[in-house]
Amino acid sequence: MAQAIESVLAQTFGDFEVIVVDNDDTDDTSKIVSRFDDSRLQHCRTGGLSMVENWEIGRKRCRGKYLTVLEDKMSYYPWSMEKLYLLIKTKRADVVVWGTGMHDQRLSAEIDVLKITTMLSARSLVEDYVKGKKNWQKLPRLINSCISAELVNQISKYYENHTFFNYASPDLVAAFAQLALTDNVFLISTNLIYRRSLVGNASSARVKKQQAATYFTGNSGYDINNAVSKVPIKNYQLIHNTVYNDFLCTQERFGGKLLGCKMNDYVYARVCMRDIFRTLFKGGKISTEIRDVSSFMRSSLSLPERVKLWFWWARLVSRKYIALRIYRHRKKNLSS
């Protein structure tokens, strides 16, 4: 948390506000925030809320012209906001997406952000998602993007209570809503932020499943089964299953560029099987998920499709297992 705050306050661009939304049940975050003496920094104590509710409280306190979300395990490069401001000012962009590194790569501040930025069609991003393509890092999820306050207000009007973050996955629902209403997204093909840890909410949810359900619902009374109300497989422990459910809910509400886009049964099953693969190698239990996805495959896919999918999954698992064995062997040799 301290490093995340420090990375913002150290920006070469100074016109911003930092709202620390503290959903912790301890005083740890308060103690960290109290170390900093900066009028641009606000501390908002909540507690007992779901992730969606927590994000929304922070969003409602924002006064700036653009909004982004920085997770506590992430940090900006010192020049990130300066480059971002230049792009927004030049292109008059409503939505900008950027890369996220897995560690501090000490990238140079001498990059020409305008030369490494491309404009992507919102509709093409939606189509790639429902085809099961790996475009996760291009979706404007706020933790890797920013959005204009004008578009935030436009999206909020689609909800009865004028919220911006909704359903089970606030980052992805926000992404789908943006893609529904905007024509294009600007993509900066370099990292503006980097992670200091690979462990995130999704990773934890794969292992601590009941705890994850509580995290997503908080004390709000939200029925976790609503997270799978529109998808064929009624298992909310498949993370990408709940994400696709959120997509369908957002599609129904917004229409726009989301209309006519849907995963076919094979792609849907493959997305769920890849989710099981990730859970397996995070150390989570997968028996219930295997049972539910297998049942869907038997009822919805042809025999050749099922064989093809199981063969793909077995190859995926075996390659990962071999890679882990090699890694552990090399690590053992280096330490001996």
Q: What is the pLDDT of residues 22-81, one digit of tens each?
A: 777 778 888 888 888 888 988 888 877 788 888 999 999 999 999 999 998 999 999 999
Average pLDDT over residues 239-261: 96
Residue 196, judged by CB atoms within 10 A of its CB (0-12, 13-18, 19+), counts as middle
Q: Is the CB of residue 174 less than 8 Å from the CB of residue 142?
A: yes
The reply to whether 247 falls in a domain is no
Query: What residue has token string 């980097």?
Result: 194
Does some domain include residue 128? yes
Residue 268 lies inside a defined structural domain of this protein: yes
Q: Please answer whether residues 246 and 174 qualify as being in contact, where contact means their C-beta atoms are separated by less than 8 angstroms.
A: no
- 295 located within any domain: yes
DSSP 38: -
Question: What is the domain count for the chain?
Answer: 2
Give the per-residue pLDDT at 221: 55
Which of 195, 221, 240 is a domain's end point?
195
- Give the domain extent around 333: 264-336
In a domain, 151, yes or no: yes
Neighbours of 46 (CB within 10 A): 14
Q: What is the pLDDT of residue 187?
A: 97
125 close to 185: Cβ distance less than 8 angstroms: yes
Same domain, 172 and 277: no
Least confident residue range of 208-217, 268-277, 286-295: 208-217
- Give bridge partners of residue 174 from the DSSP assignment: none
**Each residue of 210-220: pLDDT tens digit?**
555 555 555 55
Given a contact cutoff of 8 angstroms between Cβ atoms, the answer to whether 167 and 123 are in contact is: no
Q: Could you tell me which residue, 206 or 271, shows the higher pLDDT?
A: 271
Q: Of 195, 228, 250, which residue constitutes the final position of a domain?
A: 195
- Dihedral of alpha carbons 115, 119, 124, 128, sign: positive
Tokens of 115: 């030369």
End position of a domain, from candidates 154, 179, 195: 195
pLDDT of residue 220: 52
* Residue 189 and residue 95 share a domain: yes
The 8-class DSSP code of residue 59 comes to: H
Give the tokens for residue 231.
């998808």
pLDDT given at position 208: 59
Q: Return the exposure string of 129-138: e unless at least 16 CB atoms fall within 10 Å of the residue's CB, then b.
A: bbebeeeeeb
- Going 134 to 145 to 20 to 50, the CA torsion angle's sign is negative
This prediction has a pTM of 0.89
Could you tell me if residue 217 is inside a domain?
Answer: no
